[in-house]
Structure 1
Amino acid sequence: MAVTTQVSEHIKEVQSVIDGSQTSRDEVIAASWTRCIDDYHLDPVVLQEAYIVPHTQLKEHRERLDKLIRTAKYGLDALYHQVADHGYVLMLTDAEGVTVDYQGDASLTWELKKAGLYLGAEWSEARAGTCGVGSCIYTGEALTVHQSDHFDATHSPLSCTAAPIYDVDGSLAAVLDISALHSPEPKASQALTLQLVTSCTRRIEMAALMNTFRKEWIIRLSQSPAFLDVDPECAMAVDAEGRIIGMTHSTQRLLSRIKGNNWRQPRVLLGSLISDFFNLDINELPALSRALPTEERLLATIHGDLWFAHAIAPQPSSIRRRKKVVSGSLASLYGDDAKMADLAIKATTLSMSDLPLLLNGETGTGKEFLAKAIHESSSRKSGPFIAINCAAIPESLIESELFGYADGAFTGARSKGKRGLIEQANNGTLFLDEIGDMPLSLQARLLRVLAERELLPVGATKAIPVSFRVLAATHKSLPELVKNGSFREDLFYRINGATLTIPSLRERSDILWLAETLITKLVDRTVCVSASAGYILERYDWPGNIRELENMLQFALAFCEGNELLPEHLPEQLLNPKRLTSRETESAGGTLEVLEACDWNISKAAKVLGVDRSTVHRRIKKAGIKRRYDTD
């Protein structure tokens, strides 16, 4: 009854404000309530639960914001770690209000999803009424929508604090929101939350500017010399002619104040000369580098206001060329195959960061070999590489194997407890193979570890901090598993910072190189692959990929007593015509190639072609092929 009364009172208040009555609500809240009625035609009497967009739409929204999500990842993780213990959820939405990244307590998933504090939730004003994200998008300002500030009484238990993130061109790119299911009643209790979220968005904008304009001059400004090099308030990018080509939002406001312009019109600022705002010429930028003490790097606006400045010179173009160099460990995974070369270039670049990677590929394509090569090319190469096959560990043991257990956690446990595989990966790389087979119950616990960077062993009361890079692999379609509910959507986006797809063996052009590389590992003598055997290896479709190739070679080497691997050493299934890839077996050219590969053994050639011996003879005669010899 109390809840119903509260809802009724809230609806009456909304209606009275719309009618023009005096209110103690903030002006921004009252204005939003009016928009909800006049512009969006929402009815405060009609209560609506949060709306979560379909998975396909969410994927599109995430892809459009992919670069920003990757740029913001470190800042978001650090912020969530600060607020998680206080019951807050962190959401990153795009400019349309759709949540594209999310961090929250996995044990409260049902309640958070119902409240809309979840991945894919849409928080535009037109959809949800007055709310942190939607009102932030409309005003372009950081704000708090606290409890009954919400237009829709469905959301009145929530407290939402949001701040905008602007692109380098001054347009709104995203909104960062910190929300809580429950919070103290006074709105002033969210003051620190507002400060945290605005500070985080400023740093994200700064990182985006630095990443976008590496080859241009960047000028960073601060009113305090102590914070200039660590956390400046403003930053802008300037081209070789001294024109402003990018800026953070605080810079957008500063430049607008200097000129007396509306800060909501960033295009007026872009392309302007730096000298239109500051007493500075482009040739004077080197004087603002770190060669001078911070206190001496002063820059005056055209009105005489002083700022401490730091000019960062353009980075040389050799950085781009260096990214195309494949590291030694990754270069050893392929021969002259173009697809593998492209994969190795991407993997080399991505190995330089701690971005979580998802390795996709058919069974047997070498996902663990790729994961090891990425680890060995990374800054964590001195740490351990711990591989976990999520499909191989019995479900009854997987929790204790992954998380370990405390002393006396259960009957039969070791007296001193046991370190789990995740803890063993500390300061290194954790490789989760076949992650698509991980039970849902364990997915929730893994998500918490990845979000909070700490784990709780079975039976323990104190969490253990951990730091590792996550690489995951699967031969399944994780988006499909998410769609049918067998894989957590939030975990999918947590492990899928970027996807690397490994081509199947049948798609590769370096099969012979790979075969000879494997042979050197399998035997301690020199064995080369004959042209005829190589022809067969290249035309087989390899359903088991590299794993099958290695098994086939082990079989062949068992029968090869000399230094040349011949067709007769190969297993019978390699001669199965149903398993051969593109070949013109019915043409004269195709028949001739098979005959050459089989050393003109008619019976063997007939078996490869899937015909009888008389058909082979007929094709030879029809094509006028001259036989070198003919044996059965």
Structure 2
Amino acid sequence: MDAGALRHQQQLVLARQRFIDGAPLPEGLLPEPISRSWRRSRDAGLMPGQACLSALEPDPCELGDSDRLLADCVAPEIDRLWGLIGGPSWTIYCVNLQGVIVYGRQPHDRTSPLGQLHIGRRIHEARFGTTAPVCVLAEGQPIVLVGTQHYLTEFERFFCVSVPLHGLNGELIGALDFTGLGERQANSVMEQLTYAAMAAENRLYASLSDCQLLSLQHDPRQLDTPLQGLLAVDAAGRIQAANRVAQNLLGLARGRSVGEHLETLLGERSASPSPSAPQMLTLADGSRLYAQLLTPRSRPRPKAIAPAEPAVLGGDAQLNKRFDAARKAFAAGVPVLLQGETGTGKEVFARALHAHWKPDAPFLAINCSAIPESLIEAELFGYSEGTFTGARKGGAKGQLEAANGGTLLLDEIGDMPLALQTRLLRVLQERCLTRLGATTSIPLDVRVISATHCDLQQLIARRGFREDLYYRLSGLEVRLPALRQRTDLDLLIDRLAQRYNSPALHPETRRVLKGRDWPGNIRQLEQALRLAAALAQGESWVMPEHLAFEPSAPEPRSGRLQDALLSTIQQTLEANGGNMTATASQLGISRTTLYKKLREA
């Protein structure tokens, strides 16, 4: 845990003590949904120190018919997730609207506290205090809850991510939760749960036996997947149900579509949807969608997107082929070298490789260009007590040692100092390391993924990178394409927009997004869509003005100065073969400043 996170945790503990005595919570200390749960927990008479799991009633709640239907829909997704991200310290479960667990997977160890979270157990605020599924049921939005954000101190050791589950017309019917001891990458878990929830929601439509199901999406590759829009249409052609995606695609308010005739939403030129192949539909507002009738055989089991594949992979066939090769190579112990521009998703790609191989093992990432050269050796290899002034008592693990048994991502490997490259090569060859100032070695079992935006071959030619280390790290080289080179921009836009619960994208907004160059790649696109979703709250559409782009604004003089500075940096960087250390030295600035300037660009 870094110093900032530790300070925040200490502030939370102190604020909770004062809160119990009647003091208000400091503004901004907790997300507002969590603050509201804390207040409800206190009002219910809960004390943070009281026991919960050990004092639970033994008798489970009985499940009704609607609970069993919900369990049937979520069970395949929970089982699939459990095989990918489950483990002895984790649980995945689904609760209904009353907080009763209708289905879940828990550790087999009966002594584990997670074993109490079985089918029939009710997770309610008056007993459990602030938990992720409780907040989801109260707020209707995804929640991440970590450590001291829990109201009860008993749950401070837990990491929880929960997402809402919606019924046939978008109404809240429950929550899907991932809880355990330790910590995971919250965005990755959230995305996996979201796709699982969407797949489970789509399974509910199998119960509408007297309706035809119409699958809708901008991209035909998303039809009959968890990302599809679904309309249930009766024999008279009237819409009986529409899922959240369909409501967004059609710009409908929740429930407004029920009873409406399908023809009122479609333009006169639209072809009739067919089960044999996707058809292009032109809507009454002029926008276009692909549609396909789902056959009864395909209804109960819509195809699922593998949950370990994050949004960065999308539907680009070439990139998915590269990921599949990298996944197999990495699982076999072959080191992988990722190359690509800034923002193309190298770290997310690396995390996905790790999740396929050993999701319960540690994953650590170190940015070789963001750490001062004087500190990077201690950061990577650790140090023993007394190595230097201010060294921690007992010494400290380095990132390599902390990742033992798991994966270490060496980001911007091209900026690693030459002397450190030599030591890293020796560690990888001998599979053991020695902390700075120590004399004993530590056995090391770690898999390494490296990433860079540099041309390492040029660096080798300029003697800026060791050739033998390059061959040690590049068992398989994978180049990640820039966003402008990808064939699945529509799919990426939709996935990222759905991550932030965005209203439907207006066709003109989509045209603007697809027309931009995106020098910051996926990272820049994601931030643009995140802002647009926030600015368009309460609207039916995300309009171009919500993107906050100002292409026609006159360029200020400071902007021209920044462009000139950036041009100088880029020319110097290119002349040095992408070597950040040499470039910073030539420009007379630190590597940290250089990296900051490039990120600001």
Shorter-chain TM-score bucket reads 0.3 to 0.5
Higher relative contact order, chain-length normalized (CA < 8 Å, sep 6+) = 2
**Which structure: larger Rg?**
1
TM-score (norm 2): 0.43
TM-score (norm 1): 0.41
